[in-house]
Amino acid sequence: MRKVYVVGVGLTKIGRHFDKGLRELFAEAALKAIDDTKGVNVEALVVGNMSSSSLCEQDNLGALLADYAGLTGKPAFKVEAACGSGGTAVFTGYSLVASGLFNVVMVGGVEKLTEYPTRTVTSALAQASDAEYELYFGASFTGLNALIMRYYMEKYGVTRSEISEWPVLMHENASRNPYAQLPFKITKERVDKSQIIADPIRLYDASPIGDGAAAIILASEEVARKITDTPVEIAGLGMATDKLYLASRDKLDTFKATVEAAKVAYNMANISPKDVDVAEVHDAFSILGLINLEDLGFVEEKGKTAKLLCEGRFRPGDKPAVNPSGGLKARGHPVGATGVYQVAEVAMQLRGDFPGTKVPEAKVGLAQSIGGVGSTIVVTILKR
Partner 1 sequence: MKFNNVGISGWGVYIPKYRISLDEIAKAWGYPSTYPQGLNVVEKAVAGVDEDTITMGFEAARNALRRAGVDPNFIGAVYVGTESKPYAVKPSATVIAEALGITPKKLTADLEFACRAASEALGISIGLVSSGMVKYALVIGSDTAQASPGDVLEFTAASGSAAYVIGRDDGNAAAYFEGFYSYVTDTPDFWRKENAPYPMHGESFTGEPAYFHHIVSAVKGLLEELGLRPSDFDYFVPHQPNGKFPLKVARILGFPKEKVLPGLIVTRIGNTYSASALIGLAAVLEKAKPGSRILVAPYGSGAGADAMSIVVKDSILDKVGKAPTVKDYISRKTYIDYGLYVKFYNKLRRFKF
HEC readout, the chain: CCCEEEEEEEECCCECCCCCCHHHHHHHHHHHHHHHCCCCCCCEEEEECCCHHHHHCCCCHHHHHHHHCCCCCCCEEEECECECHHHHHHHHHHHHHHCCCCCEEEEEEEECCCCCCHHHHHHHHHCCCCCCCCHHHCCCHHHHHHHHHHHHHHHHCCCHHHHCHHHHHHHHHHCCCCCCCCCCCCCHHHHHHCCEEECCEEHHHECCCCEEEEEEEEEEHHHHHHHCCCCEEEEEEEEEECCCCHHHCCCCCCCHHHHHHHHHHHHHHCCCHHHCCEEECCCCEHHHHHHHHHHCCCCCCCCCHHHHHHCCCCCECECCEECCCCHHHHCCCCHHHHHHHHHHHHHHHHHCCCCCCCCCCCCEEEEEEEECCCCEEEEEEEEC
Decide whether 114 or 323 has the Cβ nearer to partner 1.
114
**Hey, which residues does 106 pair with through a beta bridge?**
45, 217
Helices 61-68 and 22-36 pack at an angle, to 10 degrees, of 60
Q: For the CB of residue 51, give the shortest distance to partner 1 in the complex, in Å.
A: 17
Decide whether 111 or 295 has the Cβ nearer to partner 1.
111
Closest CA to 314 of 346, 289, 350, 339: 289
Q: For the CB of residue 209, give the shortest distance to partner 1 in the complex, in Å.
A: 9
Decide whether 19 or 300 has the Cβ nearer to partner 1.
19
Q: For the CB of residue 18, give the shortest distance to partner 1 in the complex, in Å.
A: 4
Decide whether 19 or 57 has the Cβ nearer to partner 1.
19
Q: Which residues bind partner 1 (CB under 8 A)?
A: 16, 18-19, 114, 117-118, 193, 195-196
Decide whether 131 or 196 has the Cβ nearer to partner 1.
196
Decide whether 1 or 196 has the Cβ nearer to partner 1.
196
Catalytic residue among 56, 83, 171, 282: 83
Decide whether 16 or 358 has the Cβ nearer to partner 1.
16
* CA distances in angstroms from 332 to 169, 177, 326, listed in the order given: 14, 11, 8
Q: Is 333 a catalytic residue?
A: yes
Catalytic residue among 17, 171, 282, 333: 333
Q: For the CB of residue 164, give the shortest distance to partner 1 in the complex, in Å.
A: 17
Q: For the CB of residue 307, give the shortest distance to partner 1 in the complex, in Å.
A: 29
Q: For the CB of residue 201, give the shortest distance to partner 1 in the complex, in Å.
A: 14
Active-site annotation, residues: 83, 333
